[in-house]
Structure 1
């Protein structure tokens, strides 16, 4: 499968929502409970592009996944630490596409001057926990029961990776 990685445009909001909203609606992969609207996604795509942190899409003839960078916390003291998000369509999982997106995000973060990359993972998401370990992330802390979804308390596992 020939997959292209490219920055998202506002025209990609619908494809991103088609991947993200079922994850929001049906899983504990994210603690978010409000689905993404096209208007909000288009605005987010624009703002991230302006900040030189665009969403990166993986696509063949359709969008299969996306990843993006955001500040870890507000304030200049955190300027060299970024947090990333990565989501894949169900049919794109387990074939190495997440690794390709992560490598692209790591390169972009380093190019922006980041020294540390943070990944926040639901304690329920065994696949993502293993993915982070395989890619050289270390568990910084597990915050027990800080999330809540579907009537269940959920752990948040924060991973970090030092970028060279």
Structure 2
């Protein structure tokens, strides 16, 4: 997929909300059921960037995907590990944009001194599990029934990649 990988700007909040909220409403790719508002996402973008956690976007005439990381767990013993998020607009999937975003995110993570990335993936999301495997992640564990969405219990698959 063509397009530029760049740092998110405040005006990307609308597109990020559209991408994320579709995933929240229509899929089990995330277990959350609360949609993200534009104002809250602008605040989140600023907070992420102030904390040294990049939010990258794939800009192909507008934001069609984004990637970031957050803390895996609290406490100083986990400071070298981050949990990633990568989402693409539905019509941008399958064209290599996700891999480009993840590769750029990994480069930023290495520069930041992180040593390992974690992906928490719904057990139903076979496409995401396969994507992460192709990108060098290995399954580290599965927690049966860890999440609930659409009145169903869902497994959480944890995958990791050393940097």
Shorter-chain TM-score range: over 0.9
The residue number in structure 2 matching 1:12 is 12
Unaligned runs of 5+ in 2: none
Deviation at residue 5 of structure 1 after TM alignment: 0.7
The residue number in structure 2 matching 1:145 is 145
The residue number in structure 1 matching 2:57 is 57
Distance in 2, Cα, partners of 1:54 & 1:118? 16
The residue number in structure 2 matching 1:93 is 93
Secondary structure, counterpart of 1:106 in structure 2:
helix
Distance in 2, Cα, partners of 1:118 & 1:84? 6
Report the TM-score, using the length of structure 2 for normalisation. 0.97
Root-mean-square deviation over aligned CA pairs: 0.9
The residue number in structure 1 matching 2:2 is 2
Give the total of aligned pairs.
163
Structure 1's consecutive aligned runs of 4 or more residues displaced over 4 angstroms after TM superposition are none
The residue number in structure 1 matching 2:42 is 42
The residue number in structure 2 matching 1:107 is 107
Distance in 2, Cα, partners of 1:77 & 1:64? 35
Say yes or no: does 1:119 pair with 2:119. Answer: yes
Distance in 1, Cα, partners of 2:69 & 2:63? 18
Deviation at residue 54 of structure 1 after TM alignment: 2.0
Secondary structure, counterpart of 1:114 in structure 2:
coil
Deviations 1:81-129 (A, max 9, x none): 0111000001111111100001011111111111110001000101001
